[in-house]
Amino acid sequence: MRRAANVLRIVALGALLAFLLTPQSFARLFAPFTEYGAPPIYDQGNLLTLALAQLGTVLLAAAASSLVAVGLGILVTRPSGAEFLPLSRTLVNIGQTFPPVAVLAVAVPLVGFGLKPTLIALFAYGLLPIFENTMVGLKTVPAAVLEAASGMGMSARQRLLSVELPLAMPLILEGIRLSLVISVGTATIGSTVAAKGLGEVIIAGLLSNNTAFILQGGLVTGLMAVLLYDALAGLERRLCARAHIE
């Protein structure tokens, strides 16, 4: 079973890299999806550069979301911060339910076009899974463990860093992984405000009725998301095993 999964991984990664590095070699594959002799492979920009740019945007936004969401999650599970829970929840929920495209529309007049509004939209959209998971992770630390930690003389800070966060880590990492992977797909909207990414391949395809372009943009994004999800799962497993956390 594991061998089959590894083979699939290698094949998927291989296919993705092959396409990004030598896109024209796939021309014949995409040709049936074009009409009237339109170019089968996106030629208005380097696909590899676009893919990396999108990945970069996603990672940057995810780093910011993680920092803020985990921080908020820790805050609202402290006795002094418990009263901020409803407010935090509301803000984070708004970030999720407010369509990213709408966030873009609001952010552009404020910060201009390109990377900045895209980061804002992805940041807001990515908060919810991380926040909720952090909260649940911290709340489900066994009471006896917390009691013992306090009873032995750990300060609140030591308890948080040595006991609560390590034990909540699997759930927090899970939340970050989820948020990151959803972001990969969402990041395509950045192209509507001139951010560099695979969205422009899809949009070019929509504008010129070129299904091949749409497929390329979608498939590369999808493959990136799946491979990232898989890689992060493996990393998570290894990190947790090393720290003796299930």
- Residues of this chain that interact with other proteins (CB under 8 A) are 142, 144-155, 158, 163, 166-167, 243-246
| Nearest residue (CB) to other proteins, 35 versus 78 | 78
Residues 6+ apart with CB under 8 A from 229: 177, 181
Residue 98: what are its φ and ψ, rounded to 5°? -70, 115
We find the least distance from the C-beta atom of residue 67 to other proteins, in angstroms, to be: 23
Q: Name the nearest CA neighbour of 114 among 36, 195, 184, 14.
A: 195
| Nearest residue (CB) to other proteins, 167 versus 187 | 167
| Nearest residue (CB) to other proteins, 163 versus 193 | 163
We find the least distance from the C-beta atom of residue 156 to other proteins, in angstroms, to be: 8
Query: Dihedral of CA 199/205/206/212: which sign?
Result: negative
Contact in structure between 54 and 205 (CB atoms under 8 Å) = no
| Nearest residue (CB) to other proteins, 39 versus 166 | 166
Q: Which amino acid is at 125?
A: Y
Q: In this structure, what DSSP letter does residue 194 have?
A: T
We find the least distance from the C-beta atom of residue 147 to other proteins, in angstroms, to be: 6
Query: Dihedral of CA 110/113/115/121: which sign?
Result: positive
We find the least distance from the C-beta atom of residue 82 to other proteins, in angstroms, to be: 17
Determine the length of the chain: 246
| Nearest residue (CB) to other proteins, 60 versus 240 | 240
We find the least distance from the C-beta atom of residue 236 to other proteins, in angstroms, to be: 15
Contact in structure between 213 and 201 (CB atoms under 8 Å) = yes
